[in-house]
Structure 1
């Protein structure tokens, strides 16, 4: 029996490029939520596969990673070259609140639990290759990097690895992108609003994590500060910088680093 009042998945007869779509009614969203899922053709029947949840940024939705970066084509090519094992890509909407939900609980919704609890549950209900034994990873860009770093750390029992690209690192940086008043996003505990504070709280149970940022990105100094804070606190992580700005060409070029990072973790 499903944990959701309603949940549907696309008919395989009408799917293209191994993409399928799930829609479900979520108590956390107080309505329906969408998930785009890529199941690689290399998956063997009966196999239990790892899952990478990819979070989009502001203004985006469940189609952003596939139709702005072609991430599923990249994954397929990397599997064919033997760089990665077959893995599922799950790309949910953020809840479609305002310019971006921030993947936080607020306004009577819980966009955080939508990602951490509902999305994995939906995949396990609708895909035979996803079970409780599937390793789960989370990554994202910009606001999605903020969500991935916070949620991956808070729900460390669920996620085996975390990666962020051009990540927002604290709630105040949302004002660079959204028109909604930041007071709406405020958390009861201010420490829940910052990536560093969240990592510090859970430092004894952190999954492996990495993050990167473009040298011309408006968030570069914030990412550098997070790196320095983690170094000073002697918290293990990987941080990289590359040429580029806050834009799809950068994320398209570097999402493969997240996928390789997760693949390496599967070996241990």
Structure 2
């Protein structure tokens, strides 16, 4: 197994980005496509590509499941094609997969592709799953930051007002968010037309997490619209111990039954 750091310049983003990759032990062959589970692992608002490798046992899980793990960096972008910034959504769904195919000769067929993330990355994993369901077989949102409070309530605190300035860069303003591809409610309404096309969807959130109510709201709306999600609440807060444990449970559930 190997841990690689690649600094590359995607055309969709226009700035050098760090990309961390874990190569599995059984990653062999040059002339044929390499087939193994591929996990896109997405970071939270205040993190970067290194967070999962630093704070969890993802390297042990990669060895256990022969996983090819991709950990991109997207700043504080909410995995969006920003109104005034970089096109991170296009990078993750178009340019990065093509880069991985070309450089590592990976078989990125849907049955091999998983995506998971925490907080902002939980929002991101579901954004990728709902808007590009043909890419991923399964998606996990850990304590997803679904923007419910900021969409439905005006900013109250100084921190809320600061975040509003960032949202102007990302979304073009909070008033532009409802009904756009960055709006979780839109994902649900669109997916309700053909829920069978979606990947397997999994959500989990800690009972002491401040984002619990927005996660419950998203799950209730999905259920009302006939969108199946495997939903779980467990003791824990907005913290790495919880996310690492839940990621391990999810990977064991998905991959051990196939071995």
Q: Where on the TM-score scale, by shorter chain, does this alignment land: which range?
A: 0.7 to 0.9
Task: Confirm whether residue 22 of structure 1 aligns to residue 14 of structure 2.
Answer: no
- Residue aligned with 1:26, SS: coil
Residue equivalent to 1:257:
249
CA–CA separation in structure 2 for the residues paired with 1:52 and 1:165: 15
CA gap 1:246/1:189 in 2 versus in 1, 3 angstroms: closer
Match of 1:199 in 2: 188
Structure 2, unaligned stretches of length 5 or more?
none
CA contact (8 A) 1:58 1:177 kept: no
Shift of 1:56: 0.2
Deviations 1:59-86 (A, max 9, x none): 111111101113112332xx2xxxx4x2
Report SS of the residue matched to 1:145: helix
Structure 1 segment 70-89 matched on structure 2, within 5 A: 70-76=57-63, 79=64, 84=65, 86-89=66-69
Name which of structure 1's ranges 229-238 and 216-225 shifts more when overlaid on structure 2. 229-238
Among 30, 49, 55, the alignment partner of 2:36 is 49
Aligned to 1:155, which of 132, 146, 159?
132
TM-score normalized by the length of structure 1: 0.80
Residues 157 and 36 of structure 1: is their aligned pair in 2 closer, same or farther, counting only changes over 3 Å?
A: same
Describe the shift of the 1:189–1:266 C-alpha distance in structure 2 as closer, same or farther (beyond 3 A): farther
Q: Which residue of 2 aligns with 1:14?
A: none
Query: CA shift at 1:131, angstroms?
Result: 2.6
Deviating runs (4+, > 6 A) in structure 1?
Answer: 174-178, 264-267
Are the structure 2 counterparts of residues 73 and 264 from structure 1 closer, same or farther at C-alpha, using a change threshold of 3 Å? closer
* Cα separation, partners in 2 of 1:232 and 1:202, compared to 1, 3 Å: closer
SS of residue in 1 equivalent to 2:35: coil
- Name the residue aligned to 2:55: 68
* 1:266/1:137 CA distance change after superposition, 3 Å: farther
What is the DSSP-based 3-state SS (H/G/I as helix, E as strand, rest coil) of the residue aligned with 2:48?
coil
The alpha carbon displacement at 1:229 in A equals: 1.0
2:215 corresponds to 1:223: yes
TM-score with structure 2 length normalisation?
0.83
